């Protein structure tokens, strides 16, 4: 993507009409500047892939905001099953991924501009009453400025989530979703300030805590003992 200089070139590619199952957008070796950020925002906006895409990867994006087709992702990519966003350093919020009806796997990595994850992540209840209705796997990695997970839909989101991984989020203090009825694997590492109560699930099979010194033994649910 770093070799595309004009949004017109991207629009002429007419990605919307290409029946793709998988789309990967990589930005390699790009340094930040306001001009570069704006250029990338215009080019990514011009991508607008086909609704047929089931797997999407965006890596190294240097814009400060996402385009309309990602902010309205449930409308533009309703068939998305797997989504990975990494090293999008300057974005300060996440699109409403909770509104994706078919999303099974979500990976968020290297968003150093995000301090709070809150209702925008769930979609603010705009389309789907129960956010993340099909999500099975969720991973947060290397979110070094992330301080709070504002669980806006506690008891209502993630009804099918089986695996939750949180790695290298040293500023994260609170909180975690509590009602995850299908959770089987919980792995938290490098979150030394996290004091949140761990989620409860009768389906739990594996719990791993590493470098999480503020989670005390009394906070570990009985299912893990």
State mean pLDDT over 110-134: 84
CB 129 within 8 A of CB 162: no
Asked if residue 75 belongs to a domain, the reply is yes
Answer yes or no: is 160 within a domain.
yes
Please check whether residue 119 lies inside any domain of the structure. no
Is there a single domain that holds both residue 5 and residue 57? Answer: yes
Among 42, 70, 58, 53, residue whose Cα is nearest residue 16: 53
Tokens of 215: 């989670």
Residue 103 lies in a domain: no
In a domain, 121, yes or no: no
Task: Give the integer Cα–Cα distance in Å for 46 and 32.
Answer: 20
Give the range of the structural domain holding residue 40, as residue numbers without chain letter: 1-91
Using CB atoms within 10 Å of the CB of residue 145, give its burial: 0 to 12 exposed, 13 to 18 middle, 19+ buried.
Answer: middle
Residue 116: inside a domain, yes or no? no
The per-residue pLDDT of the chain, averaged, comes to 87
| pLDDT digits 0-9 by tens, 146-170 | 999 987 654 568 999 999 999 999 9
pTM: 0.91
pLDDT tens string 181-220:
999 999 999 999 998 888 888 899 999 999 998 886 555 6
What's residue 97's pLDDT?
A: 94
Give the number of domains in the chain. Answer: 2
Distance CA 79, CA 21 (A): 9
User: Is residue 101 a part of any domain in this protein?
Assistant: no
Any domain includes 113: no
């Amino acid at each position: 993507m770093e070799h595309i200089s004009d949004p017109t070139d991207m629009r002429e590619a007419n990605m919307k009409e290409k029946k793709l199952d998988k789309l990967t957008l990589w930005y390699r070796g790009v340094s930040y500047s306001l001009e570069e950020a704006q250029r990338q925002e215009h080019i990514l906006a011009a991508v607008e892939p086909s609704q047929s895409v089931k797997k999407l990867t965006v890596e190294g994006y240097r814009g400060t905001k996402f385009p309309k087709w990602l902010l309205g992702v449930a409308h533009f990519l309703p068939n998305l099953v797997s989504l990975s966003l990494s090293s999008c350093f300057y974005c300060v919020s996440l699109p409403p991924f909770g509104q994706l009806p078919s999303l099974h796997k979500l990976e968020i990595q290297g968003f150093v501009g995000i301090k709070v994850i809150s209702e925008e992540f769930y979609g603010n209840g705009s389309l789907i009453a129960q956010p993340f209705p099909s999500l099975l796997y969720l991973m947060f990695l290397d979110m070094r400025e992330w301080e709070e997970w504002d669980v806006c839909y506690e008891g209502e989101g993630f009804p099918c989530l089986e695996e939750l991984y949180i790695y290298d989020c040293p500023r994260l203090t609170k909180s975690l979703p509590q009602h995850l009825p299908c959770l089987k694997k919980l792995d938290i590492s490098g979150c030394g300030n996290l004091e949140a109560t761990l989620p409860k699930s009768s389906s739990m099979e594996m719990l791993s805590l590493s470098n999480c010194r503020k989670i005390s033994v009394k906070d570990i649910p009985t299912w893990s003992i």
